[in-house]
């Protein structure tokens, strides 16, 4: 099994979308990219921790490639809005790919380069090494499954 950590706005919706994809064996929401090793939702919302809301995916590379996951990532949100997705505004809602290997980094940068032509060089997605990931509080996990709307 492999891990992918992606920031694409509020983590509830992306977690639900990714959980339905064949080859994704587990989803978890959390915080990544900030200065604190164990951030909380309340702290992240201040904007002072530098964390983004993320979805942590455990996937089977025999069933789905990292390349395919990154393509879904770009399909699931608007990568041209800086620190914003829909009505959610703030640095914690930024578009960012957190890599754990040079291979993941290179795949991500290659896809961004190709998509930049489509989006006229307006992609704001950052690509960064995983830093200070922490699991979000339990009430955020599988939020839409727990809170049927």
Q: Which is the catalytic residue, given 4, 5, 7, 10?
A: 10
> How many C-beta neighbours within 10 Å does residue 77 have?
21
pLDDT tens, position by position, 73-97: 999 999 999 999 989 999 999 999 9
HEC-encoded secondary structure of the chain: CEEEEEEECCCHHHHHHHHCCCCEEEEEEEEECCCCCCCCHHHHHCCCCCCEEEEEEEECCCCCCHHHHHHHHHHCCCCCCCCEECCEECHHHCEEEEECCHHHHHHHHHHHHHHHHHCCCCCCCEEEECCCCEECCHHHCCHHHHCCC
Catalytic site includes residue 32: no
> What domains appear along the chain, each with residue ranges and CATH number?
2-146 (3.30.1060.10)
pLDDT tens, position by position, 102-137: 999 999 999 999 999 888 879 999 999 999 999 999
pLDDT at 105: 98
pLDDT tens, position by position, 59-74: 999 999 999 999 999 9
């Amino acid at each position: 099994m492999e891990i992918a950590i992606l920031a694409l706005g509020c983590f509830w919706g992306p977690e639900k979308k990714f959980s339905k994809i064949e080859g994704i064996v587990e989803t978890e929401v959390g915080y990544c990219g900030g200065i604190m090793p164990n951030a909380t939702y309340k702290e992240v919302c201040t904007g002072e921790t530098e964390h983004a809301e993320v979805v942590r995916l455990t996937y089977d590379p025999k069933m789905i490639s990292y390349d395919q996951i990154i393509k879904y990532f770009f399909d699931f949100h608007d990568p041209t809005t800086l620190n914003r997705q829909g009505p959610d505004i703030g640095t914690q809602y930024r578009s960012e790919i957190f890599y754990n290997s040079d291979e993941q980094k290179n795949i991500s940068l290659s896809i961004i380069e190709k998509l930049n032509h489509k989006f006229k060089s307006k992609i704001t997605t950052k690509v960064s090494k995983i830093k200070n990931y922490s699991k979000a509080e339990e009430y955020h996990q599988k939020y839409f499954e727990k809170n049927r709307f």
